Amino acid sequence: MSIALNHNLKNKIIVITGAGGILCGFIAQELAKTQAKIALLDINFEVANQFAQQINNNGGISKAYQTNVLNLDSIKQARDDIFKDWGTCDVLINGAGGNSPKATTENEFHEDNLPDTTKTFFELDKSGIEFVFNLNYLGTLLPTQVFAKDMLHKKGACIINISSMNAFTPLTKIPAYSGAKAAVSNFTQWLAVYFSKVGIRCNAIAPGFLVSNQNRGLLFNSDGTPTARANKILTNTPMGRFGQSQELLGGILFLIDENYSSFVNGVVLPIDGGFSSYSGV
């Protein structure tokens, strides 16, 4: 039985960006079991709509909205459409984000005599770095600008951002993504203070390592065995395994439901199997 059934968020309007992704699509499906109305925002309407249809087929209430989180007009149009359909946002989950090969180095350490074909820090693509940073940071800030206006002084209003283990300690090879997620964590704390007098709580979760379509090729070889990088992750995760999507749900429900977390504001909650606590020795 889903733990979401223990939470009654009936008639709450939950807006989730990046809802076409596997992780946020799963979160949308689970939160629908609280009887909330779920707005799934994604630039890929078709994928978000598939999740929405699954929710509705299972007795939930949801709708997909094509939205570019880096375009204010697109976000405002989504807000207006949601208002016409249901009303104003109660809970905003900023789930849009991701990395790009253009902002990823091939080497973990810069060393002498590397092959000329190695993509080092010096070859990182400026447009790729800008895309990754903007998607993760501005893709969190801009939807908050738009939707939080309607959440002022609204009972139970809250914002949940998606940070990362990278925000605590940057991972090798991905400087843009690490920096962007650190900015998301900082922004979460800033928002918590800024909105503290008008009734909007703002927190974040920092997932550890979960297997997704985005990172499957990085973590597993074609024969299904863990890659060298995956083995490093598992070695430095005290619980010795990757997380599961459903293991994020308890933290999200805790932060949303004011019956449990009405005095919790400005936290970045690691859900990581102990990764952020382990020094490696």
Q: What is the pLDDT of residues 117-126, one digit of tens each?
A: 899 999 999 9
Tokens of 176: 């843009």
Catalytic residue flag (residue 278): no
Q: Quick count: other Cβ atoms within 10 Å of Cβ 227?
A: 13
Between CA 82 and CA 76 the distance in angstroms is 10
Q: Is the pLDDT of residue 202 over 70?
A: yes
What average pLDDT does range 156-178 have in this prediction?
95
| Nearest one of 181, 218, 187, 217 to 203, comparing CA atoms | 187
Q: What is the per-residue pLDDT for 60?
A: 97
Q: What is the per-residue pLDDT for 229?
A: 86
pLDDT digits (tens, 9 = 90+) for 255-268: 999 999 999 999 99
pLDDT band of 214, cuts 50, 70, 90: low
- The mean pLDDT value of the chain amounts to 95
pLDDT band of 212, cuts 50, 70, 90: confident
Between CA 24 and CA 29 the distance in angstroms is 9
Q: Quick count: other Cβ atoms within 10 Å of Cβ 73?
A: 8
Identify the structural domains of the chain with CATH numbers, from first to last.
Answer: 3-208+244-270 (3.40.50.720), 213-242 (no CATH)
Q: Is the pLDDT of residue 218 over 90?
A: no
pLDDT digits (tens, 9 = 90+) for 182-193: 999 999 999 999
- The separation between CA 136 and the C-alpha centre of its own chain, rounded to angstroms, equals 9
Q: What is the per-residue pLDDT for 39?
A: 98
3-state SS assignment for residue 70: coil
Crossing angle of helices 249-256 and 22-31, in 10° steps, is 50
Residue 205 makes CB contacts below 8 A (sequence gap 6+) with 160, 161, 162, 163, 248, 251, 252, 255, 268, 269, 271
Residue 174 makes CB contacts below 8 A (sequence gap 6+) with 99, 103, 104, 105, 166
Between CA 275 and CA 208 the distance in angstroms is 7
| Nearest one of 39, 155, 163, 46 to 92, comparing CA atoms | 39
Q: What is the per-residue pLDDT for 177?
A: 96
Between CA 99 and CA 120 the distance in angstroms is 16
| Nearest one of 204, 213, 218 to 245, comparing CA atoms | 213
Scanning the chain, the segments in alpha helix (DSSP H) are: 22-31, 45-57, 72-85, 126-133, 139-148, 175-194, 216-219, 228-235, 249-256, 258-261
Calculate what percentage of the chain has a pLDDT beyond 90.
Answer: 86
Eight-class DSSP state of 270: E
What average pLDDT does range 95-103 have in this prediction?
94
pLDDT digits (tens, 9 = 90+) for 30-64: 999 999 999 999 999 999 999 999 999 999 999 99
| Nearest one of 82, 40, 44 to 64, comparing CA atoms | 40
Q: What is the per-residue pLDDT for 121?
A: 95
Q: What is the per-residue pLDDT for 226?
A: 86
pLDDT band of 96, cuts 50, 70, 90: very high
pLDDT band of 213, cuts 50, 70, 90: low
Q: Is the pTM of this model over 0.85?
A: yes
What average pLDDT does range 21-35 have in this prediction?
95
Q: What is the per-residue pLDDT for 99?
A: 92
Q: Which position among 65, 177, 194, 260 bears the catalytic label?
A: 177
Between CA 171 and CA 166 the distance in angstroms is 6
